[in-house]
Chains A and B, each alone.
Chain A
Amino acid sequence: MELTSHELLAFLPLGTAMVLATRLVLGIRTVGAFAPALVALTVLQLGATPTLSMLFVAGGTGLMVAPVLERLALPRATRLAVLVVAVCASLVASGAVEEQAVAFPLVIMAILIERTWESARVDGPSSAVRLHAMTLAVAFAVAAALAELAPFVLDRHWLPTAAIGIAANLAVGSYRGPRLSELRRFAPVRTSLRAAELAR
């Protein structure tokens, strides 16, 4: 889908509102709120297959470079800078990068790779894979939802779309109720309270 920079910017608040809703209302864990929204915009712009191949090349390179950089005991900022350069180089060299890939979150991608490496080391690889698979799934779901809204935005209504997006972020962000995932998580507390009530 061809998107102008205005349209991309108009889509971003809507995307982040959707990601926030999955986190705050459904309780789905993603790596940050912006990464899935930016990946969703890339999917919208390039399509699913080119985005996946870019993520595959960038993620693969990063996960190969990250352990080497760790052994060099560099400061974090230096490590991230080298990681960004390595990811850029691999995307250009592999031909995976597309000309239209304006929204592809390169720096965020480097931070994600670093976090993946760290969370794989601390919580185990399966936990890291699950978290990133969920982040990708949310990104693709948000992309599908944004594609449905595209005719409205592409009809040069980008300003009201951005305003609606900001309002949606404020509305979702002020939700203080339980997350759907917490119904299962706090089942022991619910059961105990119910038993206490019955005993009374």
Chain B
Amino acid sequence: MTALGINARNSVIARRNPRRAIVGAKDKSVTKRRLAANGIPVPETLCEIHDRRELRRFDESALPDQWVVKPSRGSGGRGVMVVVGALRSQRAWATPGRVVSSKELRRHIAGILGGDRSTGDDDVALFEPLLQADPEIALLTRAGLPDIRIVCDGTTPLLAMARIPTVASGGRGNLHQGGIGAAIDLESGRITRAVHERQPIAVHPDTNRRLVGTELPRWDEVLDIARRCGHATGLGYLGVDIVVDATRGPLVLEVNSHPGLEIQNVAAMPLVPSRRRPRRGVQSSDYDTPVLV
């Protein structure tokens, strides 16, 4: 047995993920609708801006004090703007590190609509409330929002890791930008191993809080949600990104049709997905027929 390489992973994806499901998964707005229709919790959508006409009519004063805007078809955190406070008298917004004027915000949204931050030629700007991590998870870090990535083979979770931001990563959980990867035992929800800058660590470098051995809250719910995402989106092999929100509990942030392979280095275990194409008409006996939207 050896680590799953990119060529082998792409072969699995070609067999297991239908084209239509991949296109849907690349669009956060479509994915959210599909998941919500199947009873899977997702962050609330505050509003969507589809074109420049809607942007001209957009009333930003209706937004709450804390929110996030992202391109619906973006990836790798590109184009995401996090707002942590409203400066309503100045018609401006506070983001981590600087104040953004209303004009700058509209320019950012225009960039999203023009396809600046996405793979296509145009896109949709998606507004969501700023999530707050469950207090037990929030204790692990000083900056940003930790999330949980679970790679699933249909309804079977294969590997799981928490992506924990650091001050050096600028609050982002992405491992290549300096975030911490923490492998999670699927049975217990306990962190078994943590990696930062490709080196094993036991404590968080910013908080000195012990990572290895920490048990994540609401693990059974997280796992159940991850198991149901493939069925709802039509993907046979997928990565599910989940945030445990302080008030709403586990919410699916994103479903990835081409999950990265670095999780293997974090867990020090290989991904072993089934390479068989599912037979037509066969549904998982555990879940109802998916609602397609």
Contacts and interface: CB of A to CB of B under 8 A. Distances in A.
B6 A74 contact: no
A190 B11 CA distance: 21
Contacts of A189: 2-3, 264-265, 268-270
Interface residues of A, number: 27
A25 to B, nearest CB: 9
A77 B107 CA distance: 17
B5 interface: yes
Contacts, number: 71
Interface stretch (B56-64, B113-121, B161-169): B113-121
Chain B interface size, as a band, is 20 to 34
Contacts of B6: 27, 179, 182
A26 B78 CA distance: 29
A188 interface: yes
Nearest to B268: A192
A177 B7 contact: yes
Interface string B250-293: 00000000000100110011100000000000000000000000
Contacts of B114: 73-76, 78-79
B2 A190 contact: yes
Nearest to A179: B5
A189 B265 CA distance: 6
Interface in A12-55: 24, 27
Contacts of B265: 185-186, 188-189
Interface string B39-78: 0000000000000000000000000000000000000101
Given A176-B7, A178-B5, A73 B268 contact: no
Contacts of B1: 193
Interface string A162-196: 00000000000001111100100110111111000
B128 interface: no
B226 interface: no
Interface in B170-190: 176
A110 to B, nearest CB: 14
A122 interface: yes
A122 B76 contact: yes
A186 B11 CA distance: 19
Given A176-B7, A178-B2, A186-B3, A76 B121 contact: yes
A193 B121 contact: no
Interface string B190-211: 0000000010000000000000
A193 B270 contact: yes
Contacts of A27: 6
Nearest to B264: A189
Contacts of A193: 1-2, 269-270
A76 B118 CA distance: 10
A79 B110 CA distance: 13
Given A73-B107, A76-B115, A178 B7 contact: yes
21 contacts: A70-B111, A73-B107, A73-B110, A73-B114, A77-B115, A122-B76, A123-B176, A177-B5, A178-B7, A178-B8, A186-B5, A186-B265, A188-B198, A188-B268, A189-B3, A189-B264, A189-B265, A189-B269, A190-B3, A193-B1, A193-B269
Given A185-B265, A186-B3, 12 more contacts: A24-B7, A75-B113, A75-B121, A76-B116, A78-B114, A122-B78, A177-B8, A178-B5, A189-B3, A189-B265, A189-B269, A192-B268
